[in-house]
């Protein structure tokens, strides 16, 4: 998922932000459908397979909000700013779980979150730019984090009644339908015309959507959403690495230490194995 800002930038000369978000999800649907058929063919006969549950539909709507503001953020502020604010999604996940779902948040999770936030600030902080002309893009990044937090929670709920492929495919149908309407209403540039834009959108669909979001759904069926949301900080590491490899932006010692802090924070927040019940 960390490669998505680069693909969006490559596609932006020909398609608008909402159109690129639509193509990201729509072009991934055939791949996700094929994955769903393979996954369910290999699943046990009694495996849960409920279609279009309330949680799945809500996940599709939440991801619509996420991509709506994410693509606006990428094009209205720096990639570093957009990535940094988007990685605050775990804050919203923890707040929703604690304040609204009344669930206890472990100390290890809070320690891990603090380490990840510190690592993210160290990794991206040197590239952050405080510019009044970009404040709107920064605000879009915060909205991105809020909706992505909702996505984590709703996908985690949906995975209780269906496999990762079905949930990702069905949520993608909801998201692509919503984004198509938004693109047709607000974007004047919807269709790509050059191979560069087509390749960027295809890569966005196959790598960031089918690959990244699909694997995220797999994880959310096996791990708590609060912990899984911390992996969003890996996008900051990916963004820094892509900036180094593709844009030639060398990593400083502070940035390297920030990446190490993120990895340590995720390790610190990992779910602990349950002690065996005493007889």
Place of tokens 């490899």: 245
The arithmetic mean of pLDDT across residues 120-129, rounded, is: 68
- pLDDT score at 195: 93
- pLDDT score at 58: 97
pLDDT band at 131 (very low <50, low <70, confident <90, very high): low
The arithmetic mean of pLDDT across residues 135-159, rounded, is: 90
- pLDDT score at 279: 45
C-alpha neighbours within 13 Å on the C-beta side of residue 248: 0
How would DSSP label each residue in the chain?
-TTHHHHHHHHTTTS-HHHHHHHHHHTTHHHHHHHHHHHHHHS-TTS----S-HHHHHHHHHHHHHHHHHHHHHHHS-HHHHHHHHTTHHHHHHHIIIIIS-----HHHHHHHHHHHHHHHHHHGGG----GGGHHHHHHHHHHHHHHHHHHHHHHHHTTTS-HHHHHHHHHHHHHHHHHHHHHHH-S--S--SHHHHHHHHHIIIIIIIIIIHHHHHHHTTS-HHHHHGGGGHHHHHHHHHHHHTT--PPPHHHHHHHHHHHHHHHHTSPPPPPPPP-
Lowest mean pLDDT among 44-58, 126-140, 186-200, 253-267: 126-140
pLDDT band at 127 (very low <50, low <70, confident <90, very high): low
- pLDDT score at 278: 47
- pLDDT score at 126: 60
The arithmetic mean of pLDDT across residues 249-276, rounded, is: 80
Query: What digits encode the pLDDT tens for the residues 16-33?
Result: 889 999 999 999 999 999
- pLDDT score at 120: 81
pLDDT band at 128 (very low <50, low <70, confident <90, very high): low
- pLDDT score at 39: 93
Is-contact 68 18, C-beta < 8 A?
yes
Query: What digits encode the pLDDT tens for the residues 156-206?
Result: 999 999 999 999 999 999 999 999 999 999 988 899 999 999 999 999 999
The arithmetic mean of pLDDT across residues 35-64, rounded, is: 90
Report pTM: 0.84
Lowest mean pLDDT among 10-14, 78-82, 122-126: 122-126
Q: Is 263 exposed, middle or buried (0-12, 13-18, 19+ CB in 10 A)?
A: middle
C-alpha span between 56 and 170 (Å, rounded): 7
Of 45-54, 91-100, 208-217, 266-275, the range with the highest mean pLDDT is: 208-217
- pLDDT score at 125: 65
- pLDDT score at 133: 67
pLDDT band at 276 (very low <50, low <70, confident <90, very high): low
């Amino acid at each position: 998922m960390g490669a998505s800002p680069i693909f969006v930038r490559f596609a932006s000369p020909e398609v608008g932000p909402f159109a690129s978000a639509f193509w990201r999800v729509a072009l991934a649907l055939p791949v996700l459908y094929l994955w769903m058929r393979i996954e369910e063919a290999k699943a046990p006969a009694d495996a849960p397979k409920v279609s279009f549950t309330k949680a799945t539909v809500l996940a599709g709507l939440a991801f619509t909000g996420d991509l709506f503001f994410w693509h606006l953020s990428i094009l209205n502020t720096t990639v570093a700013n957009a990535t940094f604010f988007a990685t605050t999604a775990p804050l919203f996940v923890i707040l929703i779980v604690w304040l609204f779902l009344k669930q206890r948040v472990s100390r290890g999770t809070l320690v891990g979150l603090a380490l990840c936030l510190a690592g993210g600030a160290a990794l991206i902080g040197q590239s952050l730019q405080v510019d009044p002309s970009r404040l709107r893009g920064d605000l879009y990044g915060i909205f991105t984090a809020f909706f992505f937090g909702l996505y984590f929670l709703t996908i985690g709920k949906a995975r209780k009644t269906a496999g990762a492929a079905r949930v990702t495919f069905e949520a993608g149908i909801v998201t692509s339908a919503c984004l198509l309407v938004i693109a047709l209403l607000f974007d004047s540039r919807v269709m790509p015309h050059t191979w560069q834009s087509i390749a960027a959108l295809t890569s966005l669909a196959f790598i960031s959507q089918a690959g990244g979001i699909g694997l995220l759904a797999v994880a959310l069926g096996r791990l708590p959403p609060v912990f899984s949301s911390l992996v969003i900080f890996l996008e900051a590491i990916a963004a820094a690495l892509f900036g180094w490899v593709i844009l030639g932006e060398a990593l400083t010692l502070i940035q390297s230490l920030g990446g190490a802090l993120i990895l340590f924070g995720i390790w610190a927040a990992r779910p602990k194995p349950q002690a065996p019940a005493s007889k």
